[in-house]
Amino acid sequence: MKRSDVVVIGGSAAGIPAAITCRRHYPDKKVILIRKEKQVQIPCGIPYIYGTVDSPENNLIPDDIVTSNDIELFVDDVKEIDRENRNLITQSGETINYDKLVLATGSLPMELPIPGLDKENVFMIKKDSVYLKELLEQVNDSKDVVILGGGFIGVETATMLKKRGLDVTVVEMLPHILLRMLDSDVSDYVADILKENGIKLLLNDTVKNIRIFVGPKQKKYIIKYAFY
């Protein structure tokens, strides 16, 4: 059994700052950070792997940002937490006893109740390097992209895919894009810039179904990607 004063589960935008902050304020404490991913994407940079950054390999958080701060790094998945005895068990069978536990596992993309989400060529934005690399390969073979959601991720992804020369349409159920972050006037200003750059916007609208169209010879001639 291993022993640590503080264990942080999660190695991305919340987990790393939590572990480093603990180390700076309590330099005498032992800190362990556990993450399940072999490689960790910079969350805010994910849309840019389809444009400016160009690949998932160029958008990674280096391990030494953890290890150089005297934080022990475990690449493993936690399968069980015993809060009463303050123990956790990893997928590989390691048991770690802790005084303090920080859960910083991040978020997952919301699966909308839309028929067709399970069809070929429909993807979600996930914080997984292998998945994102596969998605990039599929994007490189495409001409038309539909993005569901006009928040930061949707708009940034739309901009990057347009730079690759794809035909991009954004569908947003609210009357303005970025409405949860900006007021309507600024949102309209951003929308005008997107339209000037050839990005189509379908606002105040929802998607009821996702279908794959095929031509006379049963070859796909329209490939649409959905991002969240």
Q: What is the pLDDT of residues 25-63, one digit of tens each?
A: 999 999 999 999 999 999 999 999 989 999 999 999 999
Q: For the purposes of burial, counting CB atoms within 10 Å of the CB of 176, is it exposed (0-12), middle (13-18) or buried (19 or more)?
A: buried
Q: What is the pLDDT of residues 80-118, one digit of tens each?
A: 999 999 999 999 999 999 999 999 998 888 888 888 888
Neighbours of 27 (CB within 10 A): 10
Catalytic machinery residues: 44
Question: Residue 162: is its pLDDT beyond 90?
Answer: yes
Q: Is 135 helix (H, G, I), strand (E, B) or coil?
A: helix
Strands of the chain (E only): list them.
Answer: 2-9, 31-35, 72-75, 78-82, 87-90, 95-103, 144-148, 167-172, 200-203
Q: What is the pTM of this model?
A: 0.83
CB 196 within 8 A of CB 123: no
Q: What is the pLDDT of residues 139-155, one digit of tens each?
A: 888 889 999 999 999 99
Which residues lie closer than 8 Å to 146 by C-beta, 6 or more apart? Answer: 169, 170, 171, 224, 225, 226
- Mean pLDDT in the chain? 90
- CA dist 89 → 6, 40, 78, 81, 83 (Å): 15, 22, 6, 6, 11
CB 199 within 8 A of CB 158: yes
pLDDT score, position 112: 82
pLDDT score, position 228: 36
Which residues lie closer than 8 Å to 34 by C-beta, 6 or more apart? Answer: 7, 8, 9, 10, 11, 74, 76, 78, 90, 96
Q: Look-up: residue for tokens 């990674």?
A: 60
How confident is residue 206, by pLDDT bands cut at 50, 70 and 90?
confident
How confident is residue 212, by pLDDT bands cut at 50, 70 and 90?
low
Residue type, 32: I
For each of the domains in the chain, give its residue range(s) and CATH number, in order of start.
Answer: 2-103 (3.50.50.60), 109-228 (3.50.50.60)
Closest CA to 98 of 187, 27, 1: 1
Residue type, 217: K
CB 171 within 8 A of CB 146: yes
